[in-house]
A and B are shown apart, each in its own frame.
Chain A
Amino acid sequence: DTEVTQTPKHLVMGMTNKKSLKCEQHMGHRAMYWYKQKAKKPPELMFVYSYEKLSINESVPSRFSPECPNSSLLNLHLHALQPEDSALYLCASSHRALTGQKNGYTFGSGTRLTVV
């Protein structure tokens, strides 16, 4: 299995809703990432998990809450989002966080989130 699977593919939520994005990989990668991508822009890093521990939070607002239940799963819990949070949310994984330079990243297809 050489894929990163993200669910759901599309999500529409109201500003008072609570929802979660899910990411799964079975490549034995020990680093997982959340990225946010706005239209016609490159992805922006949000969070890095290394060996199931949060190692990097790029000053992301607390309405985004990541969780890594085990080495294969990564969740992003969403609460009280704003319309400007509408974007494509990408999950990625790599062998190890600090050696991604050699091995590269595998990205999922993303969740297209619309906040209304």
Chain B
Amino acid sequence: DAKTTQPNSMESNEEEPVHLPCNHSTISGTDYIHWYRQLPSQGPEYVIHGLTSNVNNRMASLAIAEDRKSSTLILHRATLRDAAVYYCILMASNYQLIWGAGTKLIIKP
């Protein structure tokens, strides 16, 4: 079965870039890679997703390894409001989401 592995927590300084890694060595060819984040007392919020190519949006960038066995979420300039739990998720061709355990991102002022 596919699974995703993320570090439990990471710390970063405010206004510096943050690179959040995710390993998904058992990903299948049609699985999309999604990232969501969850702020305290909130539901998960969509951040970005991709299949093979790197992706950019107003929130973040997603770098996907050439073999697709890992990916990195990049926050270009972290702010205190980016402190959250970040989930790396594989989205299969049906409804199924394979959630990682999440990385708690701590931003230091």
Contact = CB atoms under 8 A, between A and B. Distances in A.
Report whether over half of chain B's contact residues are helix, strand or loop; otherwise say mixed.
loop
Interface residues of B, number: 23
A42 B102 contact: yes
Interface residues of A, number: 24
Contact of A43 (B31, B46, B92, B99): B99
A45 interface: yes
Nearest to B30: A101
B93 interface: yes
Given A42-B87, A42-B100, A42-B101, A100 B95 contact: yes
A41 B44 CA distance: 12
B95 A42 contact: no
Contacts, number: 54
A45 B96 CA distance: 9
A90 B43 contact: yes
Interface of A: 4, 31, 33, 41-43, 45, 48, 55-56, 90, 92, 97-98, 100-102, 104-110
A99 to B, nearest CB: 9
Nearest to A90: B43
Given A98-B94, A101-B91, A109-B41, A42 B99 contact: yes
B45 A107 contact: yes
Contact of A105 (B42, B46, B101, B102): B46
A108 B100 contact: no
B34 interface: yes
Contacts of B46: 104-106
Contact of B43 (A56, A100, A104, A109): A109
